[in-house]
Chains A and B, each alone.
Chain A
Amino acid sequence: MTSLLSRSTTGLRPIIAGLLSLIVLSLPTFAAERVIIASTGGAYDKALRAAWFDPFTKATGIEVVTVAATNAEMRAKAAAMVKTGTVSWDLYLDGEIQAASKAHLEVTEDLTEFCRQFADREDLSANACSAGGALLQSTATLLAYRTGKPGEPVPETWADMWDTEKFPGERAFPNFDDPWRVMAAALLADGVKRDELFPLDIDRALAKLEQIRPSVSLWWKTGDQSVQGFRNGEYSLGQIWLTRAKAMHNEGLPVAWSYKASFLVGDRIALLKGALHRENALKLMAFWLNSPAAQAKACEVLSCTPPSSEAIAMMSDEARKTMPQGDDVRDYVIIPDAEWINANAAMMLQRWNEWIR
């Protein structure tokens, strides 16, 4: 037994030494200034780090620590942290609609005061800073389709998505617990005018969806499924994220999209109530809104629309060309009624669940 023990400790020695050195190495970072932000990780995180976090650390000496989680996890975890009084994050990212909800405002600090400093900035869009958080970027959910021979008619509107005679082939719609987009698309296809869309007529939307249901081959839950389905030829017309459509376009897949059938939704940076590094977190948010260069760099990679028009001007022509902006936004793009969606989220999900099963 003793020989076994000593043998095992000899084996452990390098590991212990390694662990000790790790502790020593990590000591200075405990002493230094830092800020902790939760984001969805992966490519998103990498782009934000290169464009935003690293330049910020260089300018201020404040280290940015990221924690990866899905949007839904972040929302639930942030609420749990604030409720139990053990707040270990400072900032987290959430969808623009959720960021306007009552539940969100219970968990995050009201930023109205912080936003005042940006009130006179002409380059920033009107919604760039609000009580629920600073705008990180916006992106569209829209009608994307498989391109055919040149000269063939292409689908442009949601009504075309429903027109299976003119545009045969299977359809894809999202099914990720946030059904307003699909219902809104159905209503637009049914002839509802853009400015009369909200409040959504759920009965009418579901009746319209019933018409297209036999042609739907994919109800995607993750962005990855929408990409994989298109690659596999599982559908030829789909309501998907612009970021994913663009990624497929860059891959060389025969995909195109229509801004005449699109919804614009942003991501916000929210500050948790009782955040440990509150001051640093505010600095990090201000740094984003104040640096068009950082916004341009990140959105160039992520195919998003930055909050500052100066940032848009800095991006490459190629990136700008495939971005919903100017006339498109003015004439076609739907900006959702966040207040109504939040007030009716539970009802919509309930009706959706009952219908989709």
Chain B
Amino acid sequence: MTRSLTPLSSSPSFRRSSSARFYSPTASLALVTPLIAALLAGFLYPVARLIALSFSGGTLSHYRRVFTEPLHLDVLFGTIEVAFVVTVASLLLGFPVAYLMARLSKGLAMAVAACVFIPLWTSVLVRSYAWVVLLQRNGIINGLLIDTGVTEGPLKLIYTEGAVILAMTHVLMPFMILPIYSALRALPPDYVRAARNLGAGPIRAFVAVTLPLSLPGVFAGSVMCFVLALGFYITPALVGGPGSMLMATLIGQQTTVLLDWPFAAALSTVLLAVTLLFVLLFRRMLSLSKGLNSVY
């Protein structure tokens, strides 16, 4: 695992956390037990119940419905597509921010961090409504476009799939920025300097050193964005139109309108399976890319 870049893994900022020196394995286990117990009781048990519910009646009939009625598969693929677009958009917009935060002086980095964190701490509902205000027919953006003569009349911005992607990207960006930032921070500046010393230009140094070493952060951020986007409910309901139906909306309908919980459970289980599949896929992709085994 560590054959190619031994100095890297022995660098204190990677892997070896200092707390390992203070706690024996037993103590560590004791410390982690409450968390595991909470996960078992609060997550694994309900999920197991949910999966059991989806097989209620001892048949696969609910799953048959999911896979034979075209609507459900259409919505599932649509949801994956939206989640993918949102993840890519967050990555493209978030990476430069994370890079900047890691390179700036402490005070400025704090200011940028505040710009990332304050939206994160604001309710999703508030942020989604803010987009409604911005995008509506006589909202700020349409007003600006008309005043500057870019368009004649108001454009249809709100209640579209574009609005859903925009608002979701905004809500999920911090989840992309923070892991990338921490990966970039952990990267000793010496490496880039060494690359430059060996004759690499700034672009070459970035592509050969900074980018590959930040990939664990990119991976973590992408998985987090993608998984969260797959389950989004509030934002699409507020800024999306009838065409932007996502899985969570369908599950919500079955749960609260039709009270068909076994079918809702089947839909949820399919979504969960798809999510896990993508997480495994991401991991596999990352471990296949050479040289990264040493950092991840």
Q: Is B258 an interface residue (CB 8 A)?
A: yes
Do A217 and B253 touch across chains, with their CB atoms under 8 A apart? no
Q: Is B56 an interface residue (CB 8 A)?
A: no
Q: Is A79 an interface residue (CB 8 A)?
A: yes
Do A221 and B245 touch across chains, with their CB atoms under 8 A apart? no
Do B257 and A72 touch across chains, with their CB atoms under 8 A apart? yes
Do B138 and A232 touch across chains, with their CB atoms under 8 A apart? yes
Bound state CA distance, A175 and B260, in angstroms? Answer: 20
Please judge, given known A-B contacts A353-B250, A357-B74, whether A79 and B259 are in contact too, CB under 8 Å.
yes
CB within 8 Å of A: which of B230-248?
237, 241-243, 245
Q: Is A15 an interface residue (CB 8 A)?
A: no
- Of B70, B156, B243, B259, the most chain A CB neighbours within 10 A belong to B259
Bound state CA distance, A175 and B241, in angstroms? Answer: 9
Task: Note all chain B residues with C-beta closer than 8 A to A221.
Answer: 237
Do A72 and B260 touch across chains, with their CB atoms under 8 A apart? no
Do B257 and A103 touch across chains, with their CB atoms under 8 A apart? no
Do A356 and B242 touch across chains, with their CB atoms under 8 A apart? yes
Q: Is B69 an interface residue (CB 8 A)?
A: yes
Name the residue on B nearest A219 (C-beta).
Answer: B242
Interface size on A, residues (CB 8 A): 25
Q: Is B226 an interface residue (CB 8 A)?
A: no
Name the residue on A nearest B263 (C-beta).
Answer: A346
The binding surface of chain A is classed by DSSP as: helix
Interface size on B, residues (CB 8 A): 25
Q: Is B182 an interface residue (CB 8 A)?
A: no
Do A75 and B259 touch across chains, with their CB atoms under 8 A apart? yes
Please judge, given known A-B contacts A353-B250, A357-B245, whether A228 and B237 are in contact too, CB under 8 Å.
no
Do A234 and B259 touch across chains, with their CB atoms under 8 A apart? no
Do A345 and B136 touch across chains, with their CB atoms under 8 A apart? no
Bound state CA distance, A265 and B173, in angstroms? Answer: 43
Picked from A75, A218, A233, A350, the residue with its CB within 8 Å of the CB of B71 is A350
Instruction: Name the distance in Å between B79's Cβ and chain A's nearest Cβ.
Output: 12
Bound state CA distance, A346 and B259, in angstroms? Answer: 10
Do A73 and B137 touch across chains, with their CB atoms under 8 A apart? no
Q: Contact mask A212-226 → B, CB, 8 Å, 1/0?
A: 000001110100000
Q: Which 3 A-B pairs have the closest CB atoms?
A: A72-B256, A356-B242, A76-B256
Q: Which residue numbers of A lie inside 8 Å of B, CB to CB? A: 72-73, 75-76, 79, 103, 175, 177-178, 217-219, 221, 228, 232-234, 345-346, 349-350, 353-354, 356-357
Question: What 17 new A-B contacts, CB under 8 Å, besides A217-B156, A232-B138, A350-B71?
Answer: A72-B252, A75-B259, A76-B256, A103-B259, A175-B242, A219-B159, A219-B242, A345-B257, A346-B260, A349-B257, A349-B258, A353-B71, A353-B245, A353-B250, A354-B70, A356-B243, A357-B71
Residue contacts A-B, CB under 8 angstroms, 29 given = A72-B252, A72-B256, A75-B256, A175-B242, A178-B257, A217-B156, A219-B242, A221-B237, A228-B132, A228-B136, A232-B136, A232-B137, A232-B138, A233-B137, A234-B137, A345-B257, A345-B258, A346-B258, A346-B260, A349-B257, A350-B69, A353-B71, A353-B250, A354-B70, A356-B243, A357-B75, A357-B242, A357-B243, A357-B245
